[in-house]
Amino acid sequence: SQKIEQNSEALNIQEGKTATLTCNYTNYSPAYLQWYRQDPGRGPVFLLLIRENEKEKRKERLKVTFDTTLKQSLFHITASQPADSATYLCARPPPGGGNKLTFGTGTQLKVEL
Amino acid sequence: NAGVTQTPKFQVLKTGQSMTLQCAQDMNHEYMSWYRQDPGMGLRLIHYSVGAGITDQGEVPNGYNVSRSTTEDFPLRLLSAAPSQTSVYFCASNNRRGTEAFFGQGTRLTVV
């Protein structure tokens, strides 16, 4: 089955620290992985896409890694701020690509002052 | 440019009633999808479409119908609502390459 696993427990960190969220997948390695942010009562918003031949991708304070050996992606937020508090979702396409994304359940991040 | 627009935002239905959740996008995207989001289950794909006149089933299609007569619109129909369909529904659209998905604001549906 197509499975994406994210830590269901909320992650609480202090402002200014680096938050690290994990996304593990089973079976096949996808052509890419995507990360989304979701705020309460809102739809997910796309943040980053990392392809299987990219080890690391950065966007401002965000960094994503992709390890096809471990079947894992890590999502980092450096210098975290309370405004970063949200649920972060990982998603992958089916084998061969396409738009039928499978999402993880998401990890809730709380950044405290 | 509104992106993906869903209506209504909230809806309460009685068991057995029917209704249509509306979804429209103004980005000329080929691909459109419907997901439901339940606590602990994440987003699950209900139906999707790769273009006008073409639809296919996702992971949890039972109890839902879709059609795609135009590129812009992708309505989701519940023919006979059941309490198990209580959920938050999201519509999404993608460009042809099927990468970044744009989501609507969601419809919170309660079936009593």
pLDDT digit string (tens) for B28-57? 999 999 999 998 888 999 999 999 999 999
**Quick check: helix, strand or coil at residue A47?**
strand
> C-alpha dihedral over B101, B81, B70, A37, to 10 degrees?
-10
DSSP state of A29: P
B5: closest chain A residue by CA: A43
Paired with A12 in beta bridges are: A110
Phi-psi region of A27 (alpha: psi -120 to 50; beta: other; left: phi over 0): left
Subunit contact B43:A103, Cβ cutoff 8 A: yes
Give the model confidence (pLDDT) of B66-109 as tens digits. Answer: 999 999 999 999 999 999 999 999 999 998 765 799 999 999 99
CA-based Rg of chain A, rounded to a whole angstrom? 13
Residue B53 Rama label (left phi>0; alpha psi -120 to 50; beta): left
Q: Which burial class, exposed, middle or buried, applies to B5 when counting CB atoms under 10 A from its CB (0-12, 13-18, 19+)?
A: middle
Query: Do residues A6 and A102 lie in contact, with contact meaning Cβ atoms separated by under 8 Å?
Result: no
Given an 8 Å threshold on Cβ–Cβ distance, is A41 in contact with B106? Answer: yes
Decide if B50 and A49 are in contact by the 8 Å CB cutoff. no
Confidence of residue A20 (pLDDT cuts 50, 70, 90): very high
